[in-house]
């Protein structure tokens, strides 16, 4: 799927998450929308963390957009992509008394839930459990253990491409 379409889908559902929470509480629209965008769209900032772990400050937009950081480290961290955070955010929301905090936490949780669901549906080779932080830790973040065998085989084939081989050897 083209990246602009992928990101547009995430943005749409992030906004939808905020609107749904606003419709439930009927207050603090901006806060609800902000939480939905943070949880459902800006959560992808963790892709930069994976990139930094692989290439440090040597940023190359093409490598980033092609996901070469995962080929370089043979790991998937994506520290903010985890179902456990949805549960934690909802639990905190039910424990707190402040309506503003509840709205923020619920919109964050719903935005993240939509984001992770979208990723499971849109990202070939990753399963529901691949988005569990506990599972990722148990698997030592190893790609081979987190993706389907077919996806891993494609990664191995991509490693043999001339451009990728040079990038892996020189960085």
Query: Average model confidence (pLDDT) for the chain?
Result: 92
- Asked if pLDDT for residue 156 goes beyond 90, the answer is no
- Asked if pLDDT for residue 170 goes beyond 80, the answer is no
- For the stretch 90-147, pLDDT in tens is 999 999 999 999 999 999 999 999 999 999 999 888 889 999 999 999 999 999 999 9
pTM over 0.75: yes
pLDDT of residue 3: 82
pLDDT of residue 125: 85
Asked if residues 155 and 50 have their Cβ atoms less than 8 Å apart, the reply is: no
Domain regions of the chain by residue span: 3-170
- For the stretch 89-98, pLDDT in tens is 999 999 999 9
pLDDT of residue 107: 98
């Amino acid at each position: 799927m083209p990246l602009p379409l992928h990101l547009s889908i995430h943005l749409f559902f992030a906004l939808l998450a905020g609107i749904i929470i606003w419709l439930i509480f009927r207050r603090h629209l901006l806060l609800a929308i902000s939480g939905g965008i943070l949880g459902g769209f800006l959560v992808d900032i963790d892709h930069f963390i994976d990139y930094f772990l692989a290439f440090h400050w040597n940023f190359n937009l093409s490598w980033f957009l092609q996901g070469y950081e995962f080929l370089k480290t043979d790991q998937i961290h994506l520290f903010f992509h985890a179902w456990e955070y949805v549960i934690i955010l909802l639990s905190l929301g039910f424990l707190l008394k402040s309506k503003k905090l509840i709205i923020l936490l619920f919109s964050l949780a719903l935005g993240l839930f939509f984001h992770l669901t979208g990723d499971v549906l849109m990202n070939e080779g990753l399963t529901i459990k691949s988005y569990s932080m506990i599972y990722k830790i148990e698997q030592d973040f190893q790609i081979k253990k987190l993706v389907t065998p077919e996806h891993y085989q494609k990664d191995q084939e991509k490693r043999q491409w001339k451009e990728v081989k040079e990038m892996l050897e020189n960085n």
